Every structure is written in C-alpha cells, then in structure tokens.
A and B are shown apart, each in its own frame.
Chain A
Amino acid sequence: MTQKPLDENMAAAEPVLEEAEDYSFLPIIHDIIKCMDKDGPDVHQELNKLKTKLQEAREQISAMPGVDTSPALQESNLRSLREQVRTKNQLLQKYKSLCMFDIPKPS
C-alpha cells in the first residue's frame, strides 16, 4: 500500500494549503483518507462534507461578480472605461470654459 508516500505528499502540500485554506479541498480529502484508514463511522459524514463544499464552491463561483470575462478582457474594458471618462471630462471642461461669443479681431 502506498499510504506512506501518500501521507508524505499531503504533508508537503500542507504549507501551501495553510495560505489559502478557504479554497482548498485537500484538508477534507485528507480527513476522509484518515477516516478510511481508521475505519471510523465518520467516513460518510466527511464524504458529505466534501460534496457540500464542492456544491458551495460552485454556487459561490456562479455568484461572483466580474468573472464572466477573462482577466485580460476585463483589463481592456477597464482601460476603455477610464479613457471614456477622461475624454468626456475633457469635452465637458472644454465646452464649459469656451466663450461662444468671442469675435475674432480682423487681422
């Protein structure tokens, strides 16, 4: 059985897991494997936890704003919006400060 290398691999991945524990499924999988090793009655409970977490993750992803586009496209849209705002501000500033009744002097 390759349980020992399995545990070693899980341990190696743990430091990385600690940083983003909210989005990682490895702790739950680790718990499931542990329960399986111990032949405990909590295996099904842990399996249900994994299933629930997967479902919650899917719902969370569906509800997240701004993920309907790729980062590059979103960045491009952001640049475009900033440019629009800048251009329109300039236009408004130009027309508000423009005196419509300046008569050019004959040269």
Chain B
Amino acid sequence: MNTTDNILLRAIVYCGPSANRRHCLTLASACYFSRMRKRGETVMAAAAAEKSTKEKLLSTLDDIEVLSRELIEMLALSRTQKLPQPGEDTDILELLVQRDKEFQELMQTAVEQGKVHQEMQALEKEVEKRDSDIQQLQKQLKEAEHILATAVYQAKEKLKSIEKARKGSISSEEIIKYAHRISASNAVCAPLNWVPGDPRRPYPTDLEMRSGILGNMSNMPTNGVNGHLPGDALAAGRLPDILTPQYPWQSADVSMGILPPHHGNDFGLEPPGHNKENEDDVEAMSTDSSSSSSDSD
C-alpha cells in the first residue's frame, strides 16, 4: 500500500465513531479511488500510459481536493485534541505538494497540447483543401477520359468503315465508265436539243428492242455483226464487258456527252423519228402515263 493509502486509512481510523459521517465517506472514497487507481496502473500499465491528459488532470485535481480537505480538517482537529500519529500532517502536506507539482506539470503539458491542437486544426483544413483539389482534378480527368473514349470509339468505327470500303473497293475508272454509259443514253437527263415530238426516249424503244440482241436472238451470231451490236443496248449498260464492242465514246480520249444515244446511223439503223409509222408507234407508247417523258420528273 502506498503512502497515500496509508495516510487515508489512518485518517479513517483516527476519525473514529465521533467523526463526521461525510468526512469518513470522503476519506473512504478517496482511499478506494486511490487503491483502484493503483490497481489500474499495476494491471494495465499500457492502458494507464494512454490515459488522456484531461483524465490525468481531473484525477490529480480530485486528489488535491481530498488532500487539502484532509489537511485542513486535521489541522482543525489538532487544535482541540492531540494527533494519534505525529507527523501525519507533514506526510499529507508532502503529498499535497507533490500532487500540486504534478498538476502544474500536467497543465503545462495541456497548454502545449493546445498549441499542437491548433496546428492540427490548420493541417486538417489544408487536408480538406487538398481533398477538394484532388476531387476537382478527378472530375476533370473523368471528363477528359469520357471525351477521349468517345473519340477513340468513333475513330475505331471510322476505321472499320474504311476497312470495309477498302475490301469492296471499285476502281474509279470503272465507275466513271459506267457513269458514261448511263449518261450516254440520256436516261438521266434529256438531250439539250430535245423538243416535244422528238421520238427519242430515255428507255429503249420498241424498234430498238427488236433490232437488239434479244430481238435477233436466233439470227445473231455470238460475236455480233462485225463485232458491233446496236449501240443503245450497250449504252444502257445491259451488256457484260466481254461483249462490249469498241465504240468511239468508250475511249478515254472521247469527251463526255458528244454522241447522242441514237447513233443507230452508225450501224445502218434509221432514226425512228423520221418515219411516220415509227413516230405513231412512239407516240402510242408515249401516251402511256408511266412512260411519258413529259410527265416524268
């Protein structure tokens, strides 16, 4: 048992049956408190070391209160009766001085801890500011990532389209060739000198069909007459390349749109527009609303 307990127990014994009940209770509680504290320090040394400064301060203050009260009451009693234990008040005083010194040291520690606490608060504010900066940066990076991901996706889609187009590519010369053929028959646009009454049509007329390959199927040799076939069927692009005769407008040197579609004069065909019967046939055909060039848009 330490000195504190000794003093307190002797104080309880000294009080005796005539002592103030409250005084005994105070002493008993102080003794109990001191013993419990001692046990705590013995059994849980690590836990005692982690005790907060506030707890230590309050505990020391309680001790000072108890000891000062005890000292004062002991001195008051010593006036009327003799102390059973001489020097006990000295012991209490020494303990009081010791506790007071501890209290002052703890208060000094508390003041320093207060300064550290202020520094910690400033650091916490800085940490909060950095956190908000990092969140802002994260938001911007996320946005940039989204934009870049969209751009990369679109670029990949474009590359796929390019690859697909490359696989099914057609030479420009061939496309231009077909364009020439289509436009040479005046199927997309009327000739510049076409007037109402002109027998020419953007589709093969009856006469032209009859004079074509289909019409002369049984009579036509496989290579055609001198290798030449009626030009309109060719101009309409209905013949495969292998049967393509060599016409002047098919060469690269020939400019576009020179030859009219009805170049049957080159092959000995009468232009149907000059024959009245043919004209009637043409007119009869042209009366059909679906084939009327004047109605077509």
- CB within 8 Å of B: which residues of A? 1-2, 5-6, 9-10, 13, 16, 20, 22-26, 29, 32-33, 36, 47, 50, 54, 57-58, 61-62, 64-75, 77-78, 81-82, 84-85, 88-89, 91-92, 95-96, 100
8 tightest A-B contacts by CB? A66-B117, A88-B130, A81-B123, A67-B53, A23-B107, A67-B54, A20-B104, A66-B113
A20 touches B108 (CB 8 A): yes
B contact residues around A96 at 8 Å (CB) = 137
Is residue B143 contacting chain A, with contact meaning CB distance below 8 A? no
8 extra A-B contacts, CB within 8 A, seeds A61-B54, A66-B114:
A50-B68, A65-B118, A66-B120, A70-B53, A71-B53, A73-B50, A74-B117, A81-B127
A9 touches B97 (CB 8 A): yes
Name the interface residues of B95-110: CB closer than 8 Å to any CB of A.
96-97, 100-101, 103-104, 107-110
Bound CA–CA A24/B229 (angstroms) = 129
Bound CA–CA A91/B141 (angstroms) = 14
A contact residues around B269 at 8 Å (CB) = none
Partner of A85, one of B71, B110, B113, B130: B130
Bound CA–CA A95/B134 (angstroms) = 9
A contact residues around B176 at 8 Å (CB) = none
A58 touches B61 (CB 8 A): yes
Is residue B296 contacting chain A, with contact meaning CB distance below 8 A? no
B61 CB to nearest A CB, Å: 6
B93 touches A9 (CB 8 A): yes
A contact residues around B137 at 8 Å (CB) = 92, 95-96
Which chain A residue shows the least CB distance to B76? A36
Bound CA–CA A23/B101 (angstroms) = 9
Bound CA–CA A50/B260 (angstroms) = 128
Q: At the interface with chain A, which of B84-92, B270-278, B287-295?
A: B84-92
B contact residues around A92 at 8 Å (CB) = 130, 133-134, 137
Partner of A70, one of B52, B64, B79, B90: B52
* Secondary structure class of chain A's binding surface, majority of residues: helix
B contact residues around A81 at 8 Å (CB) = 120, 123-124, 127
Bound CA–CA A36/B72 (angstroms) = 9
Is residue B78 contacting chain A, with contact meaning CB distance below 8 A? yes
24 contacts between A and B (CB under 8 A): A9-B97, A16-B101, A23-B103, A24-B100, A24-B103, A24-B104, A36-B72, A50-B68, A57-B61, A58-B61, A61-B57, A62-B54, A67-B53, A71-B109, A71-B113, A73-B50, A78-B119, A81-B120, A81-B123, A85-B123, A88-B130, A88-B134, A92-B133, A95-B137
A5 touches B90 (CB 8 A): yes
Partner of B123, one of A70, A73, A82: A82
A68 CB to nearest B CB, Å: 5
Bound CA–CA A89/B203 (angstroms) = 80
B contact residues around A29 at 8 Å (CB) = 68, 71-72, 96
Given A9-B93, A13-B97, A64 and B116 touching (CB < 8 A)?
no
A78 touches B116 (CB 8 A): yes
A contact residues around B256 at 8 Å (CB) = none
Which chain B residue shows the least CB distance to A8? B90
Given A33-B75, A74-B117, A88-B127, A54 and B65 touching (CB < 8 A)?
yes
A contact residues around B94 at 8 Å (CB) = 9
Bound CA–CA A77/B50 (angstroms) = 14
A contact residues around B75 at 8 Å (CB) = 33, 36
A100 touches B144 (CB 8 A): yes
B contact residues around A16 at 8 Å (CB) = 101
Mask: chain B, 131-151; 1 = CB below 8 Å from A; 0 = not: 101100100010010000000
Is residue B167 contacting chain A, with contact meaning CB distance below 8 A? no
A64 touches B114 (CB 8 A): yes
B contact residues around A57 at 8 Å (CB) = 61
